[in-house]
Amino acid sequence: MKIIRSIQQFQLYRSRLQNKQIGFIPTMGALHAGHLSLVEQSLDDFQHTIVSIFINPTQFDNKNDLNHFPNLLEQDIEKLKQAGVKCVFLPNFD
C-alpha cells in the first residue's frame, strides 16, 4: 500500500493514473463499517481508489474535542489494506 503524506506526492501519484477512473473517499479516520462500505463500493466502481485520512483541527470549536477525537491511524491503515485499498493520503495540517 502506498502512503502519501504531501500534496506534491499526491499530485505526482495522481498524474501517473492519468487515464484511470479514480474513487476518492475523504475521511477523518476512526474508520467503521460505513467507511468500509464506501471503500468496497469504490473498489467495485472505479479502477483505482484513494482514501484520505485528515483531521482538520480548525473544525473543532473546543480543543478538548480535538484532543478526545480517536487516533486510530495504524488500525485504519490496516483496515484499508485488508479491504484492498492501494493508496492512502495522509496530509498534514501544515
* pLDDT tens-digit readout, 44-80: 999 999 999 999 888 889 888 888 888 899 999 999 9
Give the pLDDT band of residue 29 (cuts 50, 70, 90). very high
Please report the pLDDT score of residue 93 as a whole number: 76
User: In CATH, which superfamily holds the domain spanning 2-89?
Assistant: HUPs (3.40.50.620)
DSSP class per residue in 56-88: -GGG-SSHHHHHHS---HHHHHHHHHHHT--EE
Active site residues: 35
- With a CB cutoff of 8 Å and minimum separation 6, the contacts of 61 are none
Predicted structure pTM score: 0.92
For the beta carbon of residue 72, count every other beta carbon within 10 angstroms. 14
In a 10 Å sphere around its CB, with 0-12 CB exposed, 13-18 middle and 19+ buried, how is residue 31 labelled? buried
For the chain, the structural domain boundaries read 2-89
